[in-house]
Amino acid sequence: MKNRLKVLRAERDWSQADLADRLKVSRQSVNAIETGKYDPSLPLAFRIADLFAMPIEEIFLRD
């Protein structure tokens, strides 16, 4: 699944570690999501959407 996570993170000048801390996941998980190697669970997707104050559909895009 494609996503805009890297762009949204960069707009806020957050490192992958910063985002991981805010989401309570590992930096490796953030990297895997950003590169499309891992699709987040639905609860994690909701946490990401809440953190960026955006609907899930605006962050995660269908291939």
Q: Does residue 16 fall inside a structural domain?
A: yes
CA distances from 55 to 27, 35, 60 (A): 23, 20, 9
Q: How many structural domains is the chain composed of?
A: 1
Output the pTM of the full model.
0.92
Distance CA 2, CA 61 (A): 5
Q: Does residue 58 fall inside a structural domain?
A: no
> Beta-carbon neighbour count of residue 56 at 10 Å?
15
pLDDT digits (tens, 9 = 90+) for 37-47: 999 999 999 99
Q: For the domain that residue 11 is a member of, what is the CATH number?
A: 1.10.260.40
Distance CA 14, CA 20 (A): 10
Q: Does residue 61 fall inside a structural domain?
A: no
pLDDT digits (tens, 9 = 90+) for 7-46: 999 999 999 999 999 999 999 999 999 999 999 999 999 9
